[in-house]
């Protein structure tokens, strides 16, 4: 708990981003659709190393989002508010993966939260 466990690149050009990171690091790409959303996973050999998803802000810049594992996502989200931050993506179930949320800290930085 409390460790970084996942990274996702949010972009408006998934094919271009995929080519760049495949060429840069030799990452391989897997495509999947889940819950009506299409996403991609970067992997090294059999190990998944990062996600590649559509940026939810149509005018936002591409960004990497890191996720930290928590024991109780609901309690953590409540603490986020108590500490002066806000939850910008409420608790969301990712089928066959776990539950996620995204916070914006008091400085304006985003951080993903993950519970299995």
pLDDT tens digits, one per residue of 17-75: 999 999 999 999 999 876 677 789 999 999 999 999 999 899 999 999 999 999 999 99
- Does this chain's domain 1-65 share its CATH topology with 70-116? yes
- Are 9 and 51 a contacting pair, CB within 8 Å? yes
Task: Record the tokens describing residue 92, joined without a space.
Answer: 């969301």
Query: In whole angstroms, what is the distance from residue 75 CA to residue 6 CA?
Result: 20
**Can you give the pTM of this predicted structure?**
0.91
> Where exactly are the structural domains of the chain?
1-65, 70-116
Q: In this structure, which topology does domain 1-65 adopt according to CATH?
A: 2,3-Dihydroxybiphenyl 1,2-Dioxygenase; domain 1 (3.10.180)
User: Under CATH, what is the fold of the domain 70-116?
Assistant: 2,3-Dihydroxybiphenyl 1,2-Dioxygenase; domain 1 (3.10.180)
């Amino acid at each position: 708990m409390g460790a970084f466990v996942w990274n996702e690149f949010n972009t408006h050009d998934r094919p271009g981003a995929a080519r760049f990171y495949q060429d840069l690091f030799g990452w391989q790409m897997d495509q999947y659709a889940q819950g009506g959303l299409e996403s991609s996973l970067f992997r090294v050999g059999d190990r998944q190393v990062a996600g590649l998803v559509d940026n939810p802000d149509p005018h936002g810049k591409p960004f990497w989002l890191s996720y930290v594992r928590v024991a109780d996502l609901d309690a953590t989200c409540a603490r986020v508010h108590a500490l002066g931050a806000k939850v910008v993506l409420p608790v969301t179930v990712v089928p066959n993966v776990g539950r996620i949320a995204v916070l914006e800290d008091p400085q304006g930085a985003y951080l993903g939260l993950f519970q299995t």
